[in-house]
């Protein structure tokens, strides 16, 4: 049994930032890394919006954060939590093998995963022209044609945002109407840079090898089965995100497709002593720096929770 004041589940920007603050507050935090040590940024290339560093590879940024957490005194465990019991106190978490963690506070930082199309070619060009985050990667496609896949609010917002960079944005949608709010649709239809391809499904992403990069898409007209090739340099998949909430979805209050609910201006969840930080709770911003900010808040709030226990 490993006992701690602060169990941090997840090793993305939220988890490691909580670990730095938790360690410096003498809480002896344990970070359980999960199956993706370092989180989502380990599957991208350049990160150009982490303040203070003009450009860094995603995996390098996460190695730096891990080193910082360890240097501050956090224990980093290469383990996966497969069961979390928040109905008893101290909280109990079961890791792989026989590992059991007993914690007086829990920071849930299990993140989220973008939903992808599931094409082999999509995997190949992820980080090399294929992205799921316009805020993160739109800047790389200045003066180019960009395709956005999807028909909900996110897809329309991303298409509108990407017109700041692109010469043209092609929105590709499987149906003949959008699910996005009317006000967003109005903005989209008024924007002369955006062309919508209705009733179309992406079959393949085309690209080149050296250097690896996207050159276009093959789309199928769902009604006629006719295949068309479109030229573009960037492909943004905007078909939703899934918060990684398996451990807590039956124990904590969630909303908007499973995001953990926290109190206003706080990371406090529906169970005292359990805090949620980063993409597991954030359906709006989904950025490394906002995740890190919430990790800091969670650690400060956990510290206050623990000191109240001692009174």
Binding residues vs ligand FAD (CB under 6 A): 9-15, 32-37, 39-41, 43-44, 47, 49, 80-81, 109-112, 114, 127, 131-133, 136, 244, 247, 278-279, 286-289, 291
Tokens in use for 43? 């599957």
Residue 296 annotated to the active site: no
With respect to ligand FAD, which residue has the nearer C-beta, 279 or 303? 279
Q: Is 282 a catalytic residue?
A: no
Q: Which is nearer to ligand FAD, 45 or 199 (CB)?
A: 45
Backbone angles phi, psi at 103, to 5 degrees: -130, 140
Contact 233, 206 (CB under 8 A): no
Return d(Cα 6, Cα 306) in angstroms, integer: 9
**Residue 126 has what DSSP assignment?**
B
Nearer to ligand FAD, 14 or 188 (CB): 14
Helices (H) and strands (E) in the chain, counts: 7, 23
b/e sequence 193-228, b meaning 16+ C-beta within 10 Å: bbebbbebebebbbbeeeeeebebbebbeeeeeeee
To ligand FAD, the closest distance from the beta carbon of 207 in angstroms equals 16
**Residue (41 or 117) nearer to ligand FAD, CB:** 41
Is-catalytic flag, 137? yes
Please identify which of the residues 60, 133, 221, 296 carries the catalytic annotation: 133
- 3 state DSSP class of 244: coil
Nearer to ligand FAD, 51 or 211 (CB): 51
> Rounded to an integer, what distance in angstroms lies between the CA atom of residue 5 and that of residue 28?
7
In the set 60, 98, 137, 282, the catalytic residue is 137
Q: Which of 79, 136, 232, 282 is catalytic?
A: 136
Q: How far is the CB of 5 from ligand FAD (least distance, A)?
A: 18
Helix (H, G, I), strand (E, B) or coil at 305: helix
| Residues pairing with 221 in the sheet | 200
CA distances for 76 relative to 34, 44, 301, angstroms: 10, 22, 21
Are 31 and 15 within 8 A, CB to CB? yes
Known catalytic residues are 133, 136-137
């Amino acid at each position: 049994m490993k006992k701690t004041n602060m169990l941090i589940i997840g090793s993305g920007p939220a988890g490691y930032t909580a670990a730095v603050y938790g360690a410096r507050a003498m809480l002896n935090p344990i970070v359980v890394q999960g199956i993706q040590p370092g989180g989502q940024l380990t599957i991208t290339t350049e990160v150009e919006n982490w303040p203070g560093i003009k450009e860094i590879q995603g995996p390098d940024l996460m190695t730096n954060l891990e080193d910082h957490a360890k240097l501050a005194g956090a224990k980093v465990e290469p383990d996966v939590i497969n069961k979390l019991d928040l109905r008893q106190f101290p909280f109990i978490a079961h890791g792989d093998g026989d590992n059991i963690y007993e914690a007086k506070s829990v920071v849930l930082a299990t993140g989220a995963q973008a939903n992808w199309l599931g094409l082999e070619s999509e995997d190949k060009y992820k980080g090399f022209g294929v992205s799921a985050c316009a805020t993160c990667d739109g800047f790389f496609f200045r003066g180019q044609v960009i395709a956005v896949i999807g028909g909900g609010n996110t897809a329309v917002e991303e298409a509108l945002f990407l017109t700041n960079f692109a010469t043209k944005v092609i929105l590709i949608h499987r149906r003949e109407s959008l699910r996005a709010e009317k006000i967003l649709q109005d903005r989209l239809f008024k924007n002369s840079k955006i062309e919508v391809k209705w009733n179309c499904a992406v079959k393949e992403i085309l690209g080149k090898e050296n250097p690896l990069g996207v050159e276009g898409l093959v789309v199928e007209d769902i009604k006629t089965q006719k295949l068309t090739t479109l030229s573009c340099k960037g492909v943004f998949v905007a078909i939703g995100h899934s918060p990684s909430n398996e451990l807590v979805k039956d124990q904590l209050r969630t909303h908007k497709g499973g995001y953990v609910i926290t109190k206003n201006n706080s990371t406090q969840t529906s169970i005292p002593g359990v805090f949620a930080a980063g993409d597991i709770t954030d359906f709006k911003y989904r950025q490394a720096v906002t995740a890190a900010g919430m990790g800091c808040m969670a650690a400060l709030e956990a510290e206050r929770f623990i000191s109240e226990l001692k009174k």
